[in-house]
Structure 1
Amino acid sequence: MIMDVEAVETSTSVVEIGKIMGEKEIGSVVVTQNGDAVGIICERDMLDKVIAVDARPGELTAEDIMEEPLTTVEPGENLLDAIRLMVQNHIGHLPVVKNGNLAGILTVQDVLKATPEILETLPAREERKGATKELSGEGVCEICGEVRSSLVEYNGKWICRECQDFLTG
């Protein structure tokens, strides 16, 4: 995770947020209110909620375009669980909060940096070919945590077809 997180107040103008993100070369800022993290603004929010709708950024504040409620994890969270949370919530920036205080942020780029180490724990491609059993009816994928209508057994875990495709390439 990145420990030096850029935070802005809910009243910060979108123009100022754009300047901060550009100058610091970052893809998100956490929005705070009275010291508590309450939302997040990512590059996508700037595109979708300002540029794409031809809004006037000088008239908007962080509170107007932030994503809320804020999805967070604790510093001791398992990396794979944090990745699952990011996938399930379709987010690329996951604030890390300790005792209510912002401690850092985990980004997709951080995950990609750790990917070589994660991939080393996976079995060789030859070992990953084909599922041995299929489960009909709803179940929860043990990789992504999504509820799916069918699962396959793969290396002793029940997983969805999307995760199987990812693992087997």
Structure 2
Amino acid sequence: MRSVRHLLEAKAPEVFAIGPDAPVIDAIRLMAEKHIGALLVIEGGRLAGIVSERDYARKVVLQGRSSASTPVREIMTAEVLSVGLDDTTDRCMQLVTSKRIRHLPVVADGEVLGVVSIGDLVKAVIEDQQLELDQLQRYIAS
């Protein structure tokens, strides 16, 4: 079973973040530029929250607020679920499924090391299943 450490080793080490006082429009522009659905919100070097396209749609668009004058702080999710390097893909899948979220920051000793998305998890599960199928086919054929 793969760990979060293995998932992070297999992907680009970039972590995209924004400050809590930045205008929401800056967050949306950065997400669009990087083709991602969420940004970590970092304040003073620490994880302060996460802001997603879903937050934008529900807390700005539907409420008729201004993207230019609303700070990220007002729409971000402050209670962020995170995982550690030794957590398993199974545990991560349980979290994203039960909490209906798509991104899990990876944190160790208060430092953000990366982000695991539901796409990363699905890819890992598919690769693990393919490996197991290949092994079973070799066993049956021998």
The TM tier, using the shorter chain, reads 0.7 to 0.9
Give identity over the alignment, percent. Answer: 28
Any stretches of 5+ residues in structure 1 without a counterpart? 123-169
Number of residue equivalences: 123
RMSD: 1.8
Q: Does 1:85 align with 2:121?
A: no
Q: Which amino acid aligns with 1:65?
A: I
Take 2:21 and 2:71, find their aligned partners in 1: how far apart are those partners?
5
Which among 95, 100, 107 is matched to residue 117 of structure 2? 107
Q: Does 1:8 align with 2:18?
A: yes
TM-score, length of structure 2 as denominator length:
0.79
Compare the two structures and name the one with the higher helix fraction.
2
Any stretches of 5+ residues in structure 2 without a counterpart? 1-7, 134-142
Aligned-residue offset at 1:118: 4.0
Higher mean C-alpha deviation, range 4-13 or range 109-118: 109-118
Which among 25, 39, 45 is matched to residue 35 of structure 1? 45
Deviation track 1:47-71 (CA, whole Å, cap 9, x = no partner) reads 1111122211111111000012111
TM-score, length of structure 1 as denominator length:
0.67
Query: Relative contact order: is structure 1 or structure 2 higher (C-alpha 8 Å, sep ≥ 6)?
Result: 2
Take 1:118 and 1:92, find their aligned partners in 2: how far apart are those partners?
20
Take 2:46 and 2:22, find their aligned partners in 1: how far apart are those partners?
15
Which among 44, 63, 67 is matched to residue 73 of structure 2? 63
Aligned-residue offset at 1:119: 3.4
Compare the two structures and name the one with the higher strand fraction.
1
